[in-house]
């Protein structure tokens, strides 16, 4: 039955503002109530079990999770705790066939859910509460996106970048997935502003940002750290992939002249985890030091940080 819910959602065209609800249940009878949520205008994703829910949660990025209170594989309390601790803070509603007594609703809220609804008696209440929570989550997401974006380029700002950097390094610690950091600096930016004016300087900054967006994958993070400095955080990339990405970026930036300015170049510093650093601070420091070397070596080039052992030997 959960397969039917997923298929019907996929067949319906989704709009940008449409709320996404992740429905987690092992019970076909419970999964059938996804149709009521779809009928209210939500995009519903049916999941057949708790283990699949963890994968689907990241892939679908829902505004609300509706889960069976008797879910197998992952308990309601564990699921609520995981959602509460995630950066997205996705709200959770529990559903089931047992009566929605005061004690059962209190237990759901104590576990971290927003409420519990009995099916089929309270389907209409479930839909109304879902609409409230989805609307609140969408508003929160919009406000967060505005707070996380650089006003000039639309890229992530320094605050959001720092959060993403910590998350990627933590992913390496837990799952042994490498990551890499590219720090990018526009060459001779002061000369551009002094010669052509700050409006031309803004065009140069936006030109560089567009190159970052062009070369970023969906799971990468491109950011403007301030002034003429940018960052590109590559998920799941080692040092060789990072160097190749840096060189592609360098050639894309210089490959198209900027109106009223001409050709511009960038310098790049590259470091990856775990071969160059094993902590977010040291990864940033290694990439930053490599960027300074690129500047010292004549600009318009990419420098890779030394390996951890080589860096320690050089320090001695």
Which residue among the candidates 228, 229, 259, 297 is catalytic per the annotation? 228
Q: What is the rounded CA–CA span in Å between residue 97 and residue 292? A: 63
Strand order across the beta sheet in which 266-273 lies:
221-226, 229-235, 179-186, 266-273, 302-304
Active site residue 228: yes
For residue 126, the SS3 value is helix
DSSP state letter for 262: B
Beta bridge partners of 156: 149, 223
Report CA dihedral (168, 174, 175, 177) to the nearest 10 degrees.
30
Given a contact cutoff of 8 angstroms between Cβ atoms, the answer to whether 217 and 249 are in contact is no
**Cβ count within 10 A of residue 266:** 26
Q: What is the DSSP string of 142-175?
A: HHHHHHHB-TTT-SB-HHHHHHHHHHHHHHHHHH
Given a contact cutoff of 8 angstroms between Cβ atoms, the answer to whether 180 and 284 are in contact is no
Short-list 181, 190, 278, CA closest to 232: 181
Q: Looking up tokens 């409420």, which residue turns up?
A: 115
Supply the Cα-derived Rg of the chain in whole angstroms.
24
Environment class of residue 158 by beta-carbon count within 10 Å: exposed (0-12), middle (13-18) or buried (19+)?
A: middle
Q: What is the Cβ-side half-sphere exposure of residue 51, based on CA atoms within 13 angstroms?
A: 1
Known catalytic residues are 228
């Amino acid at each position: 039955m959960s397969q039917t819910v997923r298929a019907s959602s996929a067949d319906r065209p989704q709009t940008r503002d449409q709320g996404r609800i992740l429905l987690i249940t092992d019970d076909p009878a419970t999964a059938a109530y996804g149709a009521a949520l779809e009928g209210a205008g939500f995009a519903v994703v049916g999941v057949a079990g708790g283990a699949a829910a963890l994968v689907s949660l990241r892939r679908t990025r829902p505004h609300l999770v509706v889960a069976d209170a008797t879910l197998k594989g992952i308990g309601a309390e564990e699921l609520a705790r995981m959602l509460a601790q995630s950066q997205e803070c996705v709200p959770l509603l529990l559903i089931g066939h047992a009566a929605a007594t005061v004690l059962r609703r209190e237990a759901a809220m104590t576990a971290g859910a927003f409420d519990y609804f009995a099916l089929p008696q309270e389907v209409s209440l479930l839909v109304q509460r879902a609409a409230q929570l989805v609307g609140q989550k969408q508003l929160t997401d919009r406000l967060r996106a505005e707070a996380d974006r650089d006003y000039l380029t639309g890229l992530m700002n320094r605050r959001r970048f720092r959060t993403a950097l910590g998350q990627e390094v933590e992913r390496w610690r837990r799952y042994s997935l490498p990551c890499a950091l590219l720090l990018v600096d526009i060459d001779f930016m002061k000369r551009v502003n002094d010669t052509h004016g700050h409006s031309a300087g803004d065009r140069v900054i936006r030109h560089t940002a567009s190159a970052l967006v062009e070369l970023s994958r969906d799971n990468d993070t491109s950011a403007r750290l301030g002034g003429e400095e940018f960052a590109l955080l590559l998920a799941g990339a080692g040092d060789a992939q990072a160097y190749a990405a840096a060189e592609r970026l360098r050639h894309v930036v210089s490959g198209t002249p900027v109106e009223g300015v001409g050709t511009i170049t960038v310098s790049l510093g590259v470091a990856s985890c775990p071969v160059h650093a094993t902590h977010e601070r040291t990864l940033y420091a290694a990439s930053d030091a490599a960027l300074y070397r690129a500047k010292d070596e004549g600009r318009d080039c990419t420098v890779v940080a030394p390996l951890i052992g080589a860096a320690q030997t050089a320090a001695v």
